Amino acid sequence: MSAIVAIVGRPNVGKSTFFNRLIQRREAIVDAVSGVTRDRHYGKSDWNGVEFSLIDTGGYVLGSDDIFEQEIDKQVELAIDEADAIIFMVDVESGITGMDEDVASLLRRVNKPVFLAVNKVDNGKRAEDAVEFYALGLGEYFNLSSVNGSGTGELLDALVKVLPEKEKVVDDLPRFAVVGRPNAGKSSFINALIGEERYIVTDIAGTTRDSIDTKYNRFGFEFNLVDTAGIRRKAKVKEDLEFYSVMRSVRAIEHSDVCLLVVDATRGFDGQVANIFWLAQRNNKGIVILVNKWDLVEDKETNTMKQYTAKIKEAIEPFVNVPVLFISVLTKQRIFKAIETAVEVYKNRSKRISTSKLNDAMLPVIEHYSPPAYKGKYVKIKFCTQLPTPYPQFAFFCNLPQYVREPYKRYLENNLREKFDFTGVPVTIFLRKK
Ligand code: GDP
Ligand code: GDP
């Protein structure tokens, strides 16, 4: 799991411009691979070989032009709770504002690394103006121009120096994270799993202060439940805002192998649930969708589950090969099944297929339907192999990898799923030159 860096600051200082600059380079690569819709406020970046997750906190606030001061304070508090480092962005054009002072006073009390970034320093004259930001009492600052990129390197050099090392995996047990929107029933689900204290075998504190793996032996399965202080602790912020659930989810998701996405049946699989889903997908995590509070759904006819499932699948296209279970934490309906399914998904994710088996299965599939000719050129796929990554990724070697389009990759993926069962797991396909 990589460290989490949050960008905070009032609206219009240039947070999203900066965010996009850092994310873009990688994003273009990822987009070419999967082509799915992405969350514009969360992404991965790296500098000097250090990978980190970046969150643009401002992006999660609606109508951010007339945002309340209170909202910003909450964002900052949450960033303080959940991030490993914080970039506090201010704007040299407008100088110090009351809101900046507010945020600074919150950040001065924090013992996490804080980087004051003075943005819109597009020229030397503005660099002189930036001096006033010393008054925020945060020490050294970094001059930045998010528009032309100057100053970015210095800031990132300093940032990656303080990020914690990647956490070590302590055992080989599946790591499950329970995620979802507020009120979906996550804590109730975890409590139902925990049951009585005797099920807890040990508490292993992660190397990062905030995350905890707890080992469970339940229903005959052993697994680690990835919990975050953010989830365990009584939430400081109760509001039902996308930002909070996403921010809380990020750490748990990154730390897990399989995410149990709890959905409130009475509210449905809305855009905010979808965001969390894609967050897990983009991190190549296994996913099980648990439609909870099924006890509250009245008039359950034989078709209700089918229709409900169909709606969810529509929302998660094209990654539809994901288990959807209907549970009730209240009546303990299918709680066991949920864990059993998560274990299956975990196995699918760690599945290794030998190159010979893979080619025996896939070469006939390629023979049966070869990539369509592109600009009069014929693509010949010669062989394929699974990459040694912790989640399923496959390389197909051919003469003209750049001519293999998305639909054909989908064809390969569907066949891989059919032949080897990767239910609940994102599968990535690369075309490589040979
Ligand atoms: P956010 O609300 O903090 O996410 O701010 P945005 O990234 O949306 O930027 C607000 C405005 O500032 C936009 O018009 C940007 O084009 C502009 N902006 C962002 N960074 C810079 C910069 O480095 N220099 C200048 N001159 N303008 C910038
Ligand atoms: P969290 O915010 O996702 O952790 O949600 P909680 O576990 O706090 O649950 C929110 C509310 O939903 C609580 O009042 C729970 O009692 C209720 N709840 C949770 N699971 C179920 C369920 O299966 N059926 C019903 N009827 N209520 C549930």
Give per-residue pLDDT as tens, 293-340: 999 998 777 788 999 999 999 999 999 999 999 999 999 899 889 999
Residue 26: burial class (beta carbons within 10 Å; 0-12, 13-18, 19+): middle
pLDDT confidence bin for 208, thresholds 50/70/90: very low
Nearby residues of 368 by Cβ (< 8 Å), 6 or more positions away: none
pLDDT tens for 334-379 read 988 999 999 999 999 999 999 999 999 999 999 999 988 888 889 9
pLDDT confidence bin for 207, thresholds 50/70/90: very low
pLDDT at 391: 95
Residue 431 CA to residue 401 CA, distance in Å, equals: 5
List the single range of 244-258, 287-301, 393-407, 413-427 with lowest mean pLDDT.
244-258
Q: Are the beta carbons of 291 and 329 closer than 8 angstroms?
A: no
Beta strands in 195-293 (DSSP E): 200-205, 211-218, 221-228, 258-264, 286-292
Ligand 1 nearest atom to the CA of residue 64, by list position: 2
Q: Which amino acid is at 208?
A: T
Residue 301, classed as helix, strand or coil, is coil
Protein residue closest via CA to atom 12 of ligand 1:
14
Containing 430, the helix (H) or strand (E) segment is strand 428-433
Instruction: Tell me if 12 CB under 6 Å of ligand 1.
Output: yes
* Cis before 318? omega within 30: yes
Angle between helix 69-82 and 242-255 (nearest 10): 10
Instruction: Tell me if 126 CB under 6 Å of ligand 1.
Output: no
pLDDT at 336: 86
Instruction: Tell me if 123 CB under 6 Å of ligand 1.
Output: no
Highest mean pLDDT: which range of 106-115, 184-193, 229-238, 413-422:
413-422
Average pLDDT over residues 34-49: 65
Mean pLDDT of the chain: 83
Instruction: Tell me if 151 CB under 6 Å of ligand 1.
Output: no
Counting Cα atoms < 13 Å in the Cβ hemisphere of 289 gives 29
Instruction: Tell me if 113 CB under 6 Å of ligand 1.
Output: no
Residue 45, classed as helix, strand or coil, is strand
Q: Are the beta carbons of 279 and 39 closer than 8 angstroms?
A: yes
Using alpha carbons only, what angle is made at residue 272 by residues 319 and 337, rounded to the nearest 5 degrees? 60
Protein residue closest via CA to atom 24 of ligand 2:
293
List the single range of 60-74, 147-161, 195-209, 262-276 with lowest mean pLDDT.
195-209
Average pLDDT over residues 22-48: 59
Residue 95 CA to residue 213 CA, distance in Å, equals: 44
Query: With pLDDT > 70 as the criterion, what percentage of the chain qualifies?
Result: 82
Q: Are the beta carbons of 236 and 77 closer than 8 angstroms?
A: yes
The rounded Å distance from CA 91 to ligand 1 centre is 9
Two tokens at 220?
A: 């005959």
Instruction: Tell me if 13 CB under 6 Å of ligand 1.
Output: yes
pLDDT at 32: 39
Question: Measured in whole angstroms, how far is the alpha carbon of residue 152 from the centre of its chain?
Answer: 24
Instruction: Tell me if 401 CB under 6 Å of ligand 1.
Output: no
Q: Are the beta carbons of 232 and 212 closer than 8 angstroms?
A: yes
Decide which of 137 and 271 is more confident. Answer: 137
Report which bound ligand comes closest to the CA of 7: 1
**Shortest CA distance to 114 belongs to which of 151, 147, 140?**
140
Report which bound ligand comes closest to the CA of 262: 2
Instruction: Tell me if 146 CB under 6 Å of ligand 1.
Output: yes
Report which bound ligand comes closest to the CA of 331: 2
The rounded Å distance from CA 188 to ligand 2 centre is 6
- pLDDT at residue 132 is higher than 80: yes
Ligand 2 nearest atom to the CA of residue 328, by list position: 23
Report which bound ligand comes closest to the CA of 178: 2
Using alpha carbons only, what angle is made at residue 386 by residues 385 and 389, rounded to the nearest 5 degrees? 145
- pLDDT at residue 16 is higher than 80: yes
pLDDT at 117: 98
Report which bound ligand comes closest to the CA of 8: 1
The rounded Å distance from CA 425 to ligand 2 centre is 27
pLDDT tens for 138-194 read 999 999 999 999 999 999 999 999 987 765 556 678 999 998 887 888 878 887 876
Gap between the terminal Cα atoms of the chain: 32
Please say whether the dihedral angle defined by the alpha carbons of residues 302, 304, 307 and 308, taken in this order, is positive or negative. Answer: negative
Counting Cα atoms < 13 Å in the Cβ hemisphere of 299 gives 1
The rounded Å distance from CA 153 to ligand 1 centre is 18
The rounded Å distance from CA 296 to ligand 2 centre is 11
Protein residue closest via CA to atom 15 of ligand 1:
14
The rounded Å distance from CA 274 to ligand 2 centre is 19
Pocket of ligand 2 (CB under 6 A): 180, 182-188, 292-293, 295-296, 328-330
pLDDT at 206: 33
pLDDT confidence bin for 11, thresholds 50/70/90: confident
The rounded Å distance from CA 22 to ligand 2 centre is 38
Highest mean pLDDT: which range of 128-132, 161-165, 180-184, 278-282:
128-132
The rounded Å distance from CA 183 to ligand 2 centre is 6
pLDDT at 183: 84
Report which bound ligand comes closest to the CA of 120: 1
Residue 289 β-bridge partners: 261, 324
Protein residue closest via CA to atom 26 of ligand 2:
293
- pLDDT at residue 18 is higher than 60: yes
pLDDT at 82: 75
Residue 184 CA to residue 290 CA, distance in Å, equals: 10
Protein residue closest via CA to atom 24 of ligand 1:
120
pLDDT confidence bin for 240, thresholds 50/70/90: very low
Instruction: Tell me if 143 CB under 6 Å of ligand 1.
Output: no
- pLDDT at residue 137 is higher than 50: yes
Protein residue closest via CA to atom 27 of ligand 2:
293
The number of residues in the chain equals 434
Residue 107 CA to residue 159 CA, distance in Å, equals: 16
pLDDT confidence bin for 200, thresholds 50/70/90: very low
pLDDT at 196: 44
The rounded Å distance from CA 93 to ligand 1 centre is 10
